[in-house]
Amino acid sequence: MAKAIRFDRPGGPEVMQCESVEVGEPGPGEVRLRHHAVGLNFADTYFRSGLYPAALPAGMGVEAAGVIEAVGAGVSGFGAGDRVTYTGSPLGAYSTERVMSAAPLIKLPDDIGFETAAAMTMRGLTSAYLLRRITTLTPGDTVLLHAAAGGVGLIFTQWASLLGIDVIGTVSTDEKAEVARAHGCAHTIVYTREDVAARVRELTGGAGVPVVYDSVGATTFHQSLSSLRRRGLLVCFGTASGAVPPIDAMQLAIKGSLFVTRPALADYIADGTERAALAGELFDHVSTGRIKIQINQRYPLEDAVQAHRDLESGRSIGSSVFTLPATTY
């Protein structure tokens, strides 16, 4: 029997329960995977709260790393004993073992550990598509990134620095500002005491930035629009503070013929070739040490409720993972 975190109704962290589950054998196109580490992402709270719909009862989590124990009929490119990582639906990553489709799996290089993989696969691939696919950035460009000390933020800023892109990062505390700067942020704005848009204008000589990357949503949307230069692009890729408000198209014109997009990682890794290309770039940067993955919070799987409380309170810095005891390997 495997251990898994499951929930049968939307709500707060307390709706999650640790249960014993039967895993079974993989069917056609599936593998049985034993997890060594599991990723904790803010998107997990969206499924738990009901913001993202899920057929209930359900497992929790979309990211983990481990070893394939068995493969079903028709699986090609993977075999028992392979080290793999993944991110994506269906839910169920918060578990010691699971049967799942082989489609989202990514082979994990031997020099990248399981915890590192679980901490970076979603965040790293998100950073990859934001920087490499959404729009064309050139060395010397300056962009604004909200939540710069978060899991995506610390990878994004390091990667942007490698590309010659300056990042203005917003954070909630001086401690987080220091962390963000240590990971490549050119400038930080402590939004709890500074006017974000005014400070961005000051830092850019009044012009504003060509791109704002906003994972916060409701509370930052208007400041994000006001931080853009003429014909700038707002990339709304998360809703940590709530859904983005309805967009008034005329306001986009008034503020400088602005553009807004609401991308999802799933649409940038649905194609296996593109997923492999983005993962290859990410793994290369991490393997060589050009991008360092900072894991600041580790939890036993049974502490999922507390982990979600910490995540939603803003206490977390960098990436968080669930670690599994050696007896489950």
| Mean pLDDT, residues 262-277 taken together | 95
Angstrom distance (rounded) from CA 160 to CA 141: 10
Angstrom distance (rounded) from CA 264 to CA 74: 29
List phi, psi (to 5°) of 90. Answer: -80, 165
Q: What is the dihedral of CA 126, 130, 131, 134, to 10 degrees?
A: 140
pLDDT in tens, 100-136: 999 999 999 999 999 999 999 999 999 999 999 999 9
pLDDT at 30: 97
Q: How many CB atoms lie within 10 A of CB 245?
A: 10
- Taking phi over 0 as left and psi of -120 to 50 as alpha, with beta for the rest, 115 belongs to alpha
| Mean pLDDT, residues 174-198 taken together | 96
Angstrom distance (rounded) from CA 222 to CA 288: 39
Q: Is the pTM of this model over 0.85?
A: yes
Q: Which two tokens stand for residue 323?
A: 């670690």
Q: What is the dihedral of CA 302, 279, 159, 215, to 10 degrees?
A: -50
pLDDT tier for residue 314 given thresholds of 50, 70 and 90: confident
Angstrom distance (rounded) from CA 152 to CA 161: 14
pLDDT tier for residue 76 given thresholds of 50, 70 and 90: very high
Angstrom distance (rounded) from CA 322 to CA 234: 33
Residue 282: partners with Cβ closer than 8 Å, 6 or more residues away: 120, 124, 125, 127, 128, 291
